Amino acid sequence: MYLEYDPSQGRQDRFGRELAFLWFGSNRLLNYEMIRDGFAYEYTYSDSYHYQTLFKQAQRAADSGDRGLWHASTCGGVAE
């Protein structure tokens, strides 16, 4: 397991929260998996970042697949 930092973003946000991508081995990106499965959502504060396109695609797939936050039984099918 390791953290990947995006050089375009800095390591922390303005609230002191760590900004990193969490990898398990060389092929499992936890941030992506959580968004894809509907357990998290993509959020861009201001500047684009390295995996932004991938994460937005994963969120659309979760939404259209009624997974996680987008399933009617969790948030009424509406997550914002």
DSSP 16-66: S-B--EEEETTTEEHHHHHHHTTSS-----SS--TTHHHHHHHHHHHHHTT
- What is the mean pLDDT of the segment spanning 6-29? 94
Does the pLDDT value for residue 77 go beyond 60? no
Residue-level pLDDT at 72: 85
Q: Which domains does the chain have, with CATH numbers?
A: 2-75 (2.40.50.90)
Residue-level pLDDT at 25: 92
Nearest to 6 by CA among 59, 54, 47, 60: 47
Enter the pTM of the model.
0.87
Residue-level pLDDT at 12: 94
Q: What pLDDT, in 10s, does the model give residues 30-74?
A: 999 999 999 999 998 888 999 999 999 999 999 999 999 888 888
Identify the DSSP state of 74: H
Does the pLDDT value for residue 76 go beyond 70? no
Q: Distance (Å, rounded) from C-alpha 6 to C-alpha 35?
A: 18
Does the pLDDT value for residue 11 go beyond 70? yes
